[in-house]
Amino acid sequence: MKTKTIYACQNCGATSPRWAGKCPSCGEWNTMTEETQVKQSAATSRRVLTENRTNTRQKPILLTEVEQDNQERIMTGIAELDRTLGGGIMRGSITLVGGDPGIGKSTLMLQMCANLAAVQPLYVTGEESLQQIKSRASRLSLDFSGLRVLAETNADEIVEAMRRDDVGLVIADSIQTMFRPDIESAPGSVAQVRECSALLMQAAKTLNKAVFLVGHVTKEGSIAGPKVLEHIVDTVLQFEGERIYSYRILRAAKNRYGSTNEIGVFEMSEDGLREVTNPSEVFLSQRNAGESGTAVVAAMEGSRPILVEVQALVTPSSYNVPQRSATGLDYRRLQMIIAVLEKRLGLALGKHDVFVNIAGGLRLDDPAVDLGVAAAIVSSFRDVAIQADTALIGEIGLTGEVRAVVSIEQRVNEAQKLGFSSILLPEANMKRFSRETSPHLKPADRILQALLSVVGE
């Protein structure tokens, strides 16, 4: 077998024939490490997969003769997980579950195996002993009959185990501990992570069995080792949450079999992850109603509306360049909202620091939260609290207009359900409602008009 020494960036996976202090691709420092590239890795993985098999050469066939995927999905029974996956687990698919260490990935994977006896799951652990898995399982008090466990880190052996008839689904926890003996680099290196994942991916496809890879995330938030992994797998699920809070959000960052808008919400409890079926209640449970600088927005997360508190703190700056900080929302979006407030409302924010935070560690990419963000900033700036029963919906345009948003009925319904009796929304969305029967709906087409009604003196 022909081998060659290359240098691979442990951050982005880029390779180069020469060492460099700074990665030429992503610009990170001290991430290039020496790796041995195995020339025939594809051929060897094919060999691992096809031993005992004959006639594996593929011939071109007519598309009309290709059998339809019967789309049969394995339902895990955990609704929050099934929805995030796009409606259960696809047979023959490979899913990466990424997240910070300690966030609950192993717990989620183990819980997924409960009640799946019919699918014959196999949990391969490279991080924990079988005893540790056992003690976690007893803590969860679920039905684990039919679940097999295996302590193994050699990916070739894992494929061997996958070939057994009594295994239908495999979890490899974690991909960073797995290795292929052909490759000289240490487990966790880009080369090992990539080759092990590629092998398990091929095994998933050829054996038509579902595979889950667990991967730790680096502090920068990318899945360790590398972006290369994200291209290999069918689905990337990110398990997120703040350590200090008990709830966790499962997000599909990539999904070949479904939408990437869906999220699953869980709460880590003493006996495992509990599904949170009404996320708004959780996110509003620690609300600071009556304080200035907070506003409630009705955002959409995938197909579900979620009510969340936006917090803003506006304070005189002690620096020449005032600070702006956005946690849980896009930084540039915040800058745009501040610019609109300065220009259209004449708010003098140039000498003030502005901090904005989406409470509860949620991240929102929904422009409909703009109006709430603006209201929270003005509320903090003027030190005037927004009425506790007010929820805000609306995107802000550069001319200071309040723009229509999608899914207006769902947002309004959710806010009503949670007892909000004054709901600000874009005028352009009002045609969906009857003005006579909905006096609690307050339409606005200009941000000035909207904000005067909630934080005006």
Regarding 231 and contact with ligand TYD (CB under 6 A), the answer is no
Nearest 10 degrees: Cα torsion 164, 169, 175, 181: 10
Beta carbons of 364 and 372 less than 8 angstroms apart: no
Regarding 27 and contact with ligand TYD (CB under 6 A), the answer is no
The residue (of 23 and 263) whose beta carbon lies closer to ligand TYD is 263
The residue (of 114 and 354) whose beta carbon lies closer to ligand TYD is 114
The residue (of 106 and 311) whose beta carbon lies closer to Mg ion is 106
382 binds, among Mg ion, ligand TYD, none (CB under 5 to 8 A by kind): none
d(CA 387, CA 376): 12
The residue (of 65 and 270) whose beta carbon lies closer to ligand TYD is 270
Is the C-alpha dihedral spanning 202, 208, 214, 219 positive or negative?
positive
**β-pair type (352-358, 324-327):** parallel
Beta carbons of 450 and 444 less than 8 angstroms apart: yes
The residue (of 212 and 420) whose beta carbon lies closer to Mg ion is 212
Burial of 68 per CB tally in 10 Å (0-12, 13-18, 19+): exposed
Regarding 136 and contact with ligand TYD (CB under 6 A), the answer is yes
Question: Minimal distance in Å, beta carbon 138 to ligand TYD?
Answer: 10
Question: Minimal distance in Å, beta carbon 90 to ligand TYD?
Answer: 23
How many amino acids of this chain bind ligand TYD (CB under 6 A)?
14
Candidate residues 48, 103, 171, 359; the one interacting with ligand TYD per rule CB under 6 A: 103
Regarding 78 and contact with ligand TYD (CB under 6 A), the answer is no
* Contacts of residue 425, Cβ cutoff 8 Å, sequence gap at least 6: 393, 394, 405, 408, 411, 412, 441, 442, 443, 444
Regarding 221 and contact with ligand TYD (CB under 6 A), the answer is no
Regarding 139 and contact with ligand TYD (CB under 6 A), the answer is yes
Candidate residues 44, 76, 106, 280; the one interacting with ligand TYD per rule CB under 6 A: 106
Beta carbons of 379 and 295 less than 8 angstroms apart: yes
136 binds, among Mg ion, ligand TYD, none (CB under 5 to 8 A by kind): ligand TYD
Query: What part of residues 254-283 is at the interface with ligand TYD (CB under 6 A)?
Result: 268, 270-272
Q: Which tokens is 313 given?
A: 């703190």
The residue (of 110 and 284) whose beta carbon lies closer to ligand TYD is 110
- Phi, psi angle pair for 155, to nearest 5°: -65, -35
d(CA 78, CA 89): 11
Residue 207 DSSP SS3: helix
104 binds, among Mg ion, ligand TYD, none (CB under 5 to 8 A by kind): ligand TYD
139 binds, among ligand TYD, Mg ion, none (CB under 5 to 8 A by kind): ligand TYD
Q: Which tokens is 312 given?
A: 């803003």
d(CA 284, CA 306): 10
Residue from 81, 177, 191, 79 nearest 126 by CA: 177
Regarding 215 and contact with ligand TYD (CB under 6 A), the answer is no
Candidate residues 99, 168, 226, 372; the one interacting with ligand TYD per rule CB under 6 A: 99
- 128 DSSP assignment: S
Question: Minimal distance in Å, beta carbon 197 to Mg ion?
Answer: 17
51 binds, among ligand TYD, Mg ion, none (CB under 5 to 8 A by kind): none
432 binds, among Mg ion, ligand TYD, none (CB under 5 to 8 A by kind): none
The residue (of 11 and 106) whose beta carbon lies closer to Mg ion is 106
Stretch that binds ligand TYD, among 52-60, 102-110, 309-317, 331-339 (CB under 6 A): 102-110
Question: Minimal distance in Å, beta carbon 99 to ligand TYD?
Answer: 5
d(CA 144, CA 369): 43
- Residues of this chain that interact with Mg ion (CB under 5 A) are 106
The residue (of 44 and 106) whose beta carbon lies closer to Mg ion is 106
Burial of 148 per CB tally in 10 Å (0-12, 13-18, 19+): middle
d(CA 378, CA 47): 65
Which residues of the chain form contacts with ligand TYD (CB under 6 A)? Answer: 99, 101-107, 136, 139, 268, 270-272
